[in-house]
Amino acid sequence: MQQLLQKTSDELRLKYYSKRTIKSYLQCLTDYFNYKKNDWKHLDVENIRSFLLEKQSRNYAPQTINLYLNSIKFFYREIIKSSYKIDLKFVKRSKKLPVVLSRSEIRNIIQAIGNSKHRLLIALSYGSGLRVSETVNLKVNHIDLDELTIHIQQSKGKKDRITIVPDKLITDIQNLIAGKKSDEFVFASERGGQLATRTVQKVFENSLKKTGIKKNATFHSLRHSFATHLLENGVDVRYVQELLGHQNIRTTQLYTQVTNPRLKNIKSPL
C-alpha cells in the first residue's frame, strides 16, 4: 500500500497539485485501500460504489464524497493506467450562500486585533480579496504600491491574477516591508519564514470571538465580503470575477444573490 501511495504522491507533485490537495488525496486513498483490504491495483467499480455509498450513509458532505471519487479516479487513471472508465456520477454540491460580514463587522474584527502585523494581515486579506494561501505566500515584490496592485502568482488552478491594494493601507505596508528583500514574505513568522495557514486562520477566529459576532464566519468570509461589498458599490460582476480569479462567471454571480438590493428593499408584511 505504501508504495502505491508514494507513487501517487510523486505523480501529484509532478503535475503541480497543491500540498493541501496531495494530502487530501492520500488520506482518501488510504481510507479506500483499507476498505478494499487487498488487490488495490484491480479496478472494481462496484466496490468503489459501495465505498462511496457507505460514506454517504454516514452523512459525509457532497464535497467530501467528490474528493474521494476524484482521488480514486486519479489513482486508477494516472498510476494504474487503467483504460476502464469509472462511470460514477459526481455528487451535486449543496448550494449554500457564502457567509458575508458587514462593513461594520469587518471594521470591528480588524480593530479587535492588538498585534499591528496581524491587524494589517486581516485588513489586506479583506481589502484585496485574498485566499489564506495567497496571504501567507505574499512576497514583497508581489506588491506595487505605486499602482496599488498585487500580483498573485500561481494560486488556485496555477493561475496568476492582479488584484487591488486599499490606499489607506499604503503607510502600514511600507512600514512592514521596510528593509525587507524583494523575495521575502510580507507577513513572515517570528523566525522569518512563512506563516502557517492555521496561524492566520487562528488570528481571524480569535478576533471574531472577541467581537461577539455570531455568524459562522471563517477566514474565507473576508474574501466573500470583499466580493459582495464591491458589487454593492456598483462594480461590474466581470471585474469582480477578474479580481477574485474565478474561471467561471457563475461562481462570481453567486454573490449577487447575497447583495440583491431589490430583495433587501422589500418590507415584510408583518
Residue 156 known to be catalytic = yes
116-128 vs 220-232: helix axis angle to the nearest 10? 50
Nearest to 145 by CA among 118, 111, 176: 176
Q: How many residues does the chain have?
A: 270
Catalytic annotation on 131?
yes
Catalytic residue among 118, 139, 224, 246: 246
Angstrom distance (rounded) from CA 23 to CA 27: 6
Burial 171-193 (b: 16+ CB within 10 A, else e): ebbeebbeeeeeeebbbbeeeee
Between CA 70 and CA 66 the distance in angstroms is 6
Residue 20: DSSP 8-state = H
User: Which one of the listed residues 77, 107, 156, 180 is annotated catalytic?
Assistant: 156
Q: Which three cell numbers stand for residue 212?
A: 461577539
Q: Are 159 and 131 in contact (CB under 8 A)?
A: no
CA–CA distances in Å: residue 201 to residues 69, 75, 87, 88, 124: 28, 31, 38, 35, 14
* Residue 246 annotated in active site: yes
Query: Which listed residue (55, 119, 131, 161) is catalytic?
Result: 131
Among the options 161, 223, 224, 229, which is catalytic?
Answer: 223
Residue 223 designated active-site: yes
Instruction: Write the DSSP symbol of residue 265.
Output: T
Catalytic positions are 131, 156, 220, 223, 246, 255
